[in-house]
Structure 1
Amino acid sequence: MVRILHSADWQMGLRARHVAHVAEDVRKARLEAASNVISAANRSKVDAVVLAGDIFEHNIVEDRVVHAVIKVLAGSLAPVYVLPGNHDALTPDAVFRRASWNQRPDHITVLDGNAAVPIPHTDAVLLPAPLRQKKGMKDPTAGWEMASGLDAIRIGVAHGSLRIEGKHAADDFPIALDAAVRAGLDYLALGHWHGQYVHDVRTAYSGAHETTKFGEVGSGQALLVELSSRGAVPRLEPIATGALTWRTVELDLSQGHEPEVARARELVAQLARPERALLRIHTTGFSSEDASSGLDAFREELQGGGLLHVCIEREDVPRAKAEGRLADIAGSSSLISSLLDGLNKPAAVGPGATPEPVRTAARQLLSELVMEVWK
């Protein structure tokens, strides 16, 4: 039997330019989340901590970052295995070749070769696939096909993108979907994708230990993996490790900015620790003339409420702009012109007449359809 804690993509030394004014807070949170990974490993009494690549953001991180990471890893009661990924590839100038890294304790091992590495006091081995460059078109797990004859629980450790249509690039170290089966693995621990993703019972991405940017669904986690014997189905348990909350609130300004802002205000009020939250307001739909001033006031309100970071990304379209475009198109389209004429005529009265609210909604829908085509 073996139990490991699988994590990846710490990217320590992250520049965080997308949230530049709180970049230092974001970097500190990544270190805190790393400590959360090790604390979870110690609580779970794992046999090993397996870090599947990109522990560092790049190979030119400052030595103080290296020392900080070593200090966190030194707290692990179990052996720690670190795979070089594409951000911290095993190049001649790799961080793993530095004097600062060489000061690490003996129980922290870099998986810098392709030979099987036994996990002490277990009947399990790690089959590593370290990366030696930033980009590559070769499947890093391809060499495992020749790794036969191991009568042990086999855990592969690799960094790259599963070859899923639309989710990988040709130079992103594409990994065969059947890599685990092909190599006879009991579990394949992957890194590179920041959202936790379990592909099948034997192949999974742990996800980044801390969210890197807005929209990273499934990040801020690790995976506790337990294998009872060779051939047994792994038991996977997600473990929360994230330190900050990254929240996106969608506002459809076609519904009116005031009710949408009120709804957003209620969602923000539910944040347990606003001082540890980064908030993105994303607007869509058609906006009124006073929407900008209303959103500006809401931003100031949020910034004064103690949130760590607030930004508003506007993808709404001013209603006046949509109406103007609609009128332009009507001049060259008999169909649009006819529809507009019908909607602009005075509303009929009596039984069977179309209520004015319905006519208004129809005009708005027509504007939306035209704007969608215009985009």
Structure 2
Amino acid sequence: MVKILHSADWQVGLRAQHVARVASDVRKARLEAARKVIREANSLSVNAVVLAGDIFEDNFVEDRLVHEVLAVLADSRAPVYVLPGNHDALTPDAIYRRPSWKQRPSHVFMLDGDSAVPVPRTSAVLLPAPLRQKKGMKDPTAEWAARVDPADIRIGVAHGSLRIEGKYSADDFPIALNAVARSGLDYLALGHWHGQYLHDARTAYSGAHETTKFGEDGSGQALLVEIVARGAEPRLTPVVTGSLAWRVLELDLSQGTGPEVERVRALAAVLPHPERTLLRLRTTGTSADDATSLLNGLEDALWGRGFLHVSVERNDIPRDKAEGRLADIAGSSSLISSLLRELGGPAVPASQAPEEAAVRLAARQVLTELVMEAWK
């Protein structure tokens, strides 16, 4: 039987330039989430904490952060195993070669070699695949088959991208989808993808312990992994570790900026813990002349509610610009020209067809947006 807490991608020292105004808050949250990982590990009485790469943002972070991470790891009651990832690769100038890191507590171990590492007081071994460079085209798990001991529960620890079409690049340490079967593993603990992802019953990314950016679904977690015996299917349980919420709220300005602003204002009003929430307002559609002032007012109001971060991402197109472009295209397209004539044709008395004017306006709006989307 073995029970581990699998985590990865702490990236302590993250620059967070995309939210520069609150970058220091984001960095503090990453350290707090690291403390939460260790607290959860202690609470769950795990046999080991396994960190599958990228504990640091890069090999140039200040020694102060090295000491802070070691202080966090010192509180673990279980042994901690640290794998070098691509951000903190085992290069000649690696953090893991510094005197500061070498002062680590005796229960913090490096997975920096090729040999299987036994987990004390269990029948499990860890098979490490440390990275020694930022990018690479070789599968870091490719050599495990030759050094597997058939007697023990076998847990691979690697950092890279599963070779799933559309989700990896050739220089991103692509990992074969049959790595578990090829090496006779009971579980493959992966790092590199920030969203928690269970590829199958034996292969999983724990996800980053704290969310890094907007749109990073599934992060802010670790994975509790329990394996009762060699060959048994692991029991995988998500463990919440993150503290910040990164929320994107969409505004379709084609529906009218005023109504959309009020809708988003109402949504934001019920979000819990604004002081720990980063908000991005993303606009789409075509917008009227008053859009900028209304959006500025909304942004100011949300800052006033105490949100940690508020930003507006403008993807809408001003209506006069859209209409002008549509007119230009109509001059060289008989199809567009005829559609516009039809949609802007003689008015129908409201008493006879009260919906037709609205339908024509909506159709013209759709046509405008389709043309503008193609133009972009």
TM-score range, shorter chain: over 0.9
Which shows bigger deviation, 337-346 or 116-125? Answer: 337-346
> Contact between 1:348 and 1:354, CA under 8 Å: does it hold in 2?
no
CA distance in 1, matches of 2:317, 2:353: 34
- Shift of residue 149 of structure 1? 3.5
**Aligned partner of residue 29 in structure 1, secondary structure:** helix
Q: How far apart are residue 348 of structure 1 and its match?
A: 3.0
Counterpart of 1:131 in structure 2 is: 131
Cα displacement string for residues 137-157 of structure 1 (whole angstroms, at most 9, x for unaligned residues):
000000112123430100000
Partner of 2:121: 121
Report the residue type matching 1:145 in the other structure: A
Please say which of residues 148-157 and 174-183 is displaced more in the overlay: 148-157
- By how many angstroms is 1:354 displaced? 6.7
Alignment of 1:206-217 (within 5 A): 206-217=206-217
What's the counterpart of residue 18 of structure 1?
18
Mapping 1:140-289, distance limit 5 Å: 140-289=140-289
Q: Is the CA contact (8 Å cut-off) linking 2:348 and 2:357 kept in structure 1? A: no
With structure 1 as the length reference, what TM-score do the two structures score?
0.98
Conserved in 1, the CA contact under 8 Å of 2:112 and 2:130? yes
Does residue 100 of the first structure (1) align with residue 93 of the second (2)?
no
Distance 1:280 1:352 in 2: 41
1:263-286 per-residue CA deviation (whole Å, 9 max, x = no partner) reads: 211221222211111111111111
SS of corresponding position for 2:99: coil
Is the 1:37–1:241 Cα contact (8 Å) retained in structure 2? yes
> Is the partner of 1:100 in helix, strand or coil?
helix
**How far apart, in 2, do the equivalents of 1:49 and 1:122 lie?**
13
SS in 1 for 2:246: strand
Q: Specify the alignment match of 1:308 in structure 2.
A: 308
Structure 1's 229 and 328: CA in aligned 2 closer, same or farther, altered over 3 A?
same
Q: Cα–Cα, structure 1 residues 200 and 219, in superposed 2: closer, same or farther, change >3 Å?
A: same
CA–CA separation in structure 2 for the residues paired with 1:283 and 1:144? 49
On the 8 A contact 1:67/1:101 being kept in 2, the answer is: yes
1:290 and 2:281 correspond = no
Structure-1 residue corresponding to 2:51: 51
Q: Give the Cα–Cα distance (whole angstroms) in 1 for the partners of residues 238 and 262 of structure 2.
A: 34
AA aligned to 1:87 is H
Alpha-carbon distance in structure 2 between the residues aligned to 1:222 and 1:131: 21
Amino acid at match of 2:360: R
Q: Is the 8 A contact 2:9 2:53 kept in 1?
A: yes
In 2, the alpha carbon distance for the partners of 1:115 and 1:281 equals 49
Note if 1:335 corresponds to 2:331.
no
* Residue deviations 1:62-113 (CA, integer Å, cap 9, x gap): 1110000000001111000000000111111110111111111100001010
Kept in 1, the 8 Å contact 2:343–2:360? The answer is: yes
**Contact persistence 2:253–2:286 (CA under 8 A):** yes
Letter in 2 for 1:355: E
Q: CA offset at residue 31 of structure 1?
A: 0.2
AA matched with 1:138: K
Q: CA deviation at 1:43?
A: 0.7
Do structure 1's residue 90 and structure 2's residue 62 form an aligned pair? no
Is the 8 Å Cα contact of residues 347 and 354 (structure 1) preserved in structure 2? no
| Most deviating of 262-271 and 110-119 | 262-271
Q: Which moved more, 1:60-69 or 1:365-374?
A: 365-374
Contact 1:347 1:353 in 2 (8 A): no
- CA distance in 1: counterparts of 2:355 and 2:128, whole angstroms: 69
The answer on whether the counterparts of 1:139 and 1:175 sit within 8 Å (CA) in structure 2 is yes
Q: Which amino acid aligns with 1:366?
A: L
Once the two structures are overlaid, the 10-residue window that deviates more, 123-132 or 141-150, is 141-150
Equivalent-residue separation in structure 1 for 2:250 and 2:147 (angstroms):
49
Q: Is the Cα–Cα contact under 8 Å of residues 13 and 61 in structure 2 kept in the other structure?
A: yes
Give 1:34's aligned residue. 34
Q: Report the 3-state secondary structure (helix = DSSP H, G, I; strand = E; otherwise coil) of the residue aligned with 2:143.
A: helix
CA distance in structure 1 between the partners assigned to 2:371 and 2:13 by the alignment: 46
Are 1:161 and 1:175, in contact at CA under 8 Å, matched by a contact in 2?
yes
